[in-house]
Amino acid sequence: MRRTALITASLIFSLAGLGCKGRASQPEAQPTPAQPKPADDRTGPPDRANDEAPKPALVAVSEPGAGFADRLDRAAYEADLTFIASARLPGSAHWQAVQDRCVAAFEQAGFDVTRSTAEGAGISIIGRKSGRDPKLPSIVAGAHYDHIEACAGADDNASGTAAVLQLARVLGPEDWDRTLIVACWDEEESGLHGSRHWVDQAVGQGQSIGLYLNFDAIAYADDAPNSQTLPPGVDIVFAKQLAEFKAQQYRANFIAVLADSGAQQASRYYQAHAARLELPAALIEIPSAMKNDALLADLRRSDHASFWKHDIPAVFLSDTANFRTDTYHCEVRPDTVDTLDIDFAVKVTRAAIGTLAEML
């Protein structure tokens, strides 16, 4: 049973193509959409992802939650995205400019701002808005703002950084029961160093964190048939899911929602808000006990891994990166704003704002 679960989680991760620390293991050639076998002709193991998953409690969007989600300013999101999307290797002039934009946005939204610095970890910008009840665990939302050399990094990860700035602007002026922390992480591309340094320090100081929400590449979408690719072999375990992809003609029009089971409430709220916004969302849930397994190292390719290391529940939002676009890390085409779907990214961010408003 454990071996089956490991295979399941590995394949789920491959489907998401998550993170930006490098490509997930895959053949040199980009795979074509996997073709599921008919149910009565399958010789592989049953669809464990469906058969073994617990039945989640249903959640509903509240009127206040929807109201906060709808406060996001599309023009402001696009302005942030456009500003950030330029080469910003750590230490460069534009890296400094983006860092300063995070500081200004957080301060204007009412957060207390600090710079988390350490040798090898760069400079991460942290905004903190204390909640009414200090006994409640805080909620953290973040995205990395650094990128690789000579690449604008519009999707990866100007799109996610802009989402955090908008989230801060909408939720920061309000008073919440829980403490809200927002972050622009540095040195993600070199090994998650910025987020890891901050989380290690926060946990060491006894801070209680109940949830982390991570944005990393959230703005590329394509409604054309066969625009979403999948790794070969997933049909062995995921016949049911692949049948759904096939029915949708493998369209790259959904946001992947990766969550450990400890973050189930947040992931369910996200699904509910996404449905209200008519945003396709594919939930990819793994057992909390497996999230730090050595066999699943590829699953920890973005800053949520720094929180999982301390057994903090996390939700990771991704457009699936290299399984959807050849702009990833500018490998074939430039990763620029003109390749992105702004309306898609705005919906992704609105659903996240609504989710946090429900939980704060």
pLDDT, tens digit, for every residue of 186-224? Answer: 999 999 999 999 999 999 999 999 999 999 999 999 999
Global pTM value: 0.86
Higher pLDDT, 148 or 21: 148
- The predicted-structure confidence for 162-175, as pLDDT tens digits, reads as follows 999 999 999 999 99
Higher pLDDT, 6 or 252: 252
Q: Is the pLDDT of residue 232 over 70?
A: no
* Percent of the chain residues past pLDDT 90, beyond the cut: 71
**Could you give the CA distance from residue 230 to residue 17 in angstroms, rounded to a whole number?**
9
Structure tokens at 255: 């946001």
Domain-located, residue 119: yes
**Could you give the CA distance from residue 134 to residue 148 in angstroms, rounded to a whole number?**
38
Domain-located, residue 31: no
Domain-located, residue 29: no
For residues 107-134, average pLDDT? 97
Q: Which residues contact 98 (CB under 8 A, 6 or more apart)?
A: 83, 84, 88, 145, 161, 184
**Phi, psi (rounded to 5 degrees) for 349:** -70, -40
Domain-located, residue 18: yes
* Domain count within the chain: 1
Domain-located, residue 54: yes
Domain-located, residue 259: yes
Structural domain of 215: 2-22+50-359
Domain-located, residue 14: yes
Q: Is the pLDDT of residue 253 over 70?
A: yes
CA dihedral (76, 80, 82, 83) positive or negative: positive
Domain-located, residue 339: yes
Distances (CA, A) of 84 to 80, 172, 196: 6, 21, 23
pLDDT at 236: 61
Higher pLDDT, 39 or 74: 74
The residue behind tokens 């399984």 is 323
Looking at residue 186, which CATH number applies to its domain?
Answer: 3.40.630.10
Structure tokens at 191: 């090994």
Q: Is the pLDDT of residue 54 over 80?
A: no
